[in-house]
Chain A
Amino acid sequence: MNRARAMGQHLRTLSIAALAAFAGFPLVSHAVESGAVAPTVSLPGISATVSTSAQPGRWVYVDFWASWCAPCKRSFPWMNAMHAKYQSRGLLIVAVNVDAKRADADRFLKQNPAEFTIAFDPAGETPKRFAVKAMPSAYLIDPSGRVRWVHRGFTDADAAKLDAELDAALSRK
């Protein structure tokens, strides 16, 4: 009986959720924004585990990307440039791949070689914890582990702006 009632309630909730979703109201919007404590990243990388918790006191730029995402592809040469430019000033770039199939990611990496750190999350657990809203999304995390800023999408126009923002952040320490 109770179970039936619970089920009814469940159904009601579900249908309200579906309705709300269809009407365009986001039900979950606990996006990780600037100022929030960043979730940690601990994922398999190309040769070893990639873990941001093992990098205390460093600036970390966490990027979420996929092989099927065209703006992500445009951001790769730029991230290589940023890696070369700011590595010595303590910036760690971690680009988390969210492809369901590793083979797709590998093919992409062959065509778009990355000098920065790559991590793989085919199950999508990390983007879920970050509540990623767009592809690509980038989070700059300061040495205290707080999100300094979030950037969604990537266009060529963003490149110079983000470069300046990285420079400013790293200079402030």
Chain B
Amino acid sequence: MVVTDREHHSAHDAASVPPDRLARRTAFSGLGSITAAALALPGVIASVASAQVAPLEEGVVALKVHAYEDRQPGLTRIRAISPSLYIGVPVASAWSFEATITHDDVSGATPRWHSAISSASKMGDHRTATTATVTRSFERWSIAAGGAYSSEQDYRSRAGSLELRVASEDNNRTWSFAVAHTDDDIFPTNRAVRRATRRTDEFGVGVTQNWTKSDVVQLSITHAQGRGYYNDPYKILDIRPSERDQSTVSVRWNHSMGASGDALRTSWRFYRDTFGIRAHTLDLAYAKFVNDQWTFTPSVRYHTQSAADFYYDPVYDAQIGEPFPVGNPTFSSPDHRLSAFGALTLGARADWRIDSRWSADFKLEFYEQRGAWRLGGGGSPGLAPLKATIAQIGITRRF
């Protein structure tokens, strides 16, 4: 998966930045490694432990290649190519083993301030991430233990999780209770700090209900408490609180369209954290059953968020030059991810069922992020739109 993590994005229009400013920024830019400060393993709970109460129905091996490219007006370009592998094996009808491995190969430039500007800050990085889960299923419940490991040049993340699932007697409802712990270690190559750490505990509760024979609904709530280093060591004036609590409430609803075999998938998530960010994310996908071999799924996703309390806008001053936070605040960050914006993804996926054993999938997505697209207005000013294209191809074999 794409490690697009870095702040390659957005920011000023090149035109709005005088050439001498560009030069100055180049001088500031370290060689660079990337990143990080934020990579980690997002949403460990969902990604690590995701078995159902019932054990895996059959063995599955899936291979995917995910390609990513940023497009910004005249500025940075980040490319990433990420092959990944999934293996799922049922054992003795009560156990399931699942594992994934992903390798990211990222190239491009990394920014010093809000955006990536300097051609001097070329970067290249690799990340390898693995997850493994073992699930023991009983008649009405299952327990899953998972682990995840991710490492790159300046970052290492380790996580463990436990998830309990309990199905109702009629098998129409499943409760899920999950806990996870993540240890992150950051070793910035610029020695901003020698070694920094972050510890995160996550809790989640979810319920999935077969509402009718054509509708399934899921409600889930997660809460994460993180303590430690949240700064981006490669940015100037990036000082963030050392605590971050994050909560989400999400509702998902899938509806089967009856005889046609089509399905409408919807989800909505509300997010808030102690950085002061509030976000809503809405997802819609329509799986169109074309024939026994092909399913075509167009999708749209909209995300809107407020800025972190300590985010400062990229406003260049004629006298002072570089943007800087007003006054002398305890915390500040120019990370565009912490700005207020709206983002839209349009995508399409084709699933090809070659035979009862083999299947393939193809996906293309276009992503765009703009301050002006924030719901209700009030998006952060001065950031150029960020556009990205994602292409993915996968093949699956069942045993």
Contact = CB atoms under 8 A, between A and B. Distances in A.
B58 A70 contact: yes
B16 interface: no
B301 interface: no
Contact of A24 (B94, B139, B173): B173
A155 B168 CA distance: 20
Nearest to A134: B171
Interface residues of A, number: 12
B330 interface: no
B157 to A, nearest CB: 35
Interface string A106-141: 010001000000000000000000000110000000
B93 A157 contact: yes
Contacts of B57: 70
Given A70-B57, A70-B58, A111-B356, A155 B93 contact: yes
Which 10 pairs between the two chains have the least Cβ-Cβ distance? A70-B57, A155-B93, A24-B168, A156-B93, A157-B93, A111-B356, A26-B169, A26-B170, A24-B169, A24-B173
A153 B167 CA distance: 15
Interface of B: 57-58, 92-94, 139, 168-171, 173, 209, 292, 356
Main DSSP-derived SS at the B contact region = loop
Interface string A22-33: 101010000000
Contacts of B171: 134
A153 B356 CA distance: 23
Nearest to B211: A22
Contacts of B170: 24, 26, 133
A128 to B, nearest CB: 13
Given A133-B170, A155-B93, A156-B92, 7 more contacts: A22-B173, A22-B209, A24-B169, A26-B169, A111-B356, A153-B139, A157-B93
Contacts of A70: 57-58
A22 B169 CA distance: 11
A33 to B, nearest CB: 15
Contacts of A157: 92-93
9 contacts: A24-B170, A24-B173, A26-B170, A70-B57, A153-B139, A155-B94, A156-B92, A157-B92, A157-B93
